[in-house]
Amino acid sequence: GAVVSQHPSWVICKSGTSVKIECRSLDFQATTMFWYRQFPKQSLMLMATSNEGSKATYEQGVEKDKFLINHASLTLSTLTVTSAHPEDSSFYICSVRGWGGSVNTEAFFGQGTRLTVV
Amino acid sequence: RKEVEQDPGPFNVPEGATVAFNCTYSNSASQSFFWYRQDCRKEPKLLMSVYSSGNEDGRFTAQLNRASQYISLLIRDSKLSDSATYLCVVNSLRGKLTFGTGTRLQVTL
């Protein structure tokens, strides 16, 4: 399967600051990457689809100005949580789809970033 | 109704037991299905894809019933290391993956 590296694995920040999370596809070029968020005891919720060289597509209810996504290369997507607040504390995970980019292939995930805003 | 529904559990079973999880999905147009395993505070990892004809991987067997819109996962000879949360994942519209909330399994001595 695909190898996806996410950094940092955890971060604690003060309310009002911004946090950048990086997601790298290590063994193939990913034109599309996905960002999810998971609150305790809840399912993963898709936040946005990151598209290389173009704007990200955000899911309903996700503020694009708060969660900035940049996908400048085929192997790197970044998610920046701007002006973070305690309610943004969550587990953020990126993923890529399997080889060939078929919509039916499985997803492979980064290690996730546990964000705590104090 | 949720798009993907699972019994959250927990399922507490002794080592060596057989345990089965079910998952139902609401979108009849869904095209592909997966079971993922998620350990506490870790990322999900693919356990197996689910095929229409059913498929087996060692102690794990997955079944798909399109008519009833449910997916199952059977784990035989449970081991302590099987303790985790099992996520049912459905590929819905336009390739979007929808996750169930997961079923927690605790295997005990």
More confident residue, A43 or A17: A17
> Which chain A residues in 65-94 lie under 8 Å from chain B, judged by CB atoms?
91, 93
Q: What is the pLDDT of residues B51-76, one digit of tens each?
A: 888 899 999 999 999 999 999 999 99
Report pLDDT for A52.
86
Q: How far is B79 from chain A (nearest CA, A)?
A: 23
> Which chain B residues in 24-53 lie under 8 Å from chain A, judged by CB atoms?
31-32, 34, 41-46, 49
Q: Residue A88 in contact with residue A62, Cβ under 8 Å?
A: no
Q: Residue A97 in contact with residue B28, Cβ under 8 Å?
A: no
Res. A97 pLDDT band, cuts 50 70 90: confident
Report pLDDT for B93.
64
Cis status of the peptide bond prior to B10, with omega within 30 of 0 = yes
Q: Which CA distances in Å does B10 have to B14, B84, B85?
A: 13, 10, 9
C-alpha to C-alpha distance for A30 and A51, rounded to whole angstroms: 9
Res. B2 pLDDT band, cuts 50 70 90: confident
Q: What is the pLDDT of residues B10-36, one digit of tens each?
A: 999 999 999 999 999 999 988 889 999
Q: Give yes or no for residue A13 having a pLDDT over 80.
A: yes
Q: Residue B4 in contact with residue B64, Cβ under 8 Å?
A: no
**Strand boundaries in A2-100, DSSP class E:** 4-7, 10-13, 19-25, 32-38, 45-51, 57-58, 67-73, 76-81, 90-97
Average pLDDT of every residue of chain B: 93
Cross-chain Cβ contact A1/B100 below 8 Å: no
More confident residue, B84 or B97: B84
Residue A103 contacts B where some CB pair is shorter than 8 Å: yes
Q: Give percent of chain A above pLDDT 90.
A: 69
Res. A98 pLDDT band, cuts 50 70 90: low
Look at the block and give the residue holding tokens 């400048």. A72
* Nearest Cα residue in chain B from A59: B96
Q: Give yes or no for residue A1 having a pLDDT over 80.
A: no
| B interface test, pick of A7, A103, A114 with most B CB neighbours within 10 Å | A103
Report pLDDT for A48.
95
C-alpha to C-alpha distance for B61 and B72, rounded to whole angstroms: 8
Write out chain B residues lying below 8 Å of A42, CB-based.
Answer: 101
Q: What is the pLDDT of residues A55-88, one digit of tens each?
A: 999 999 999 999 999 998 889 999 999 999 999 9
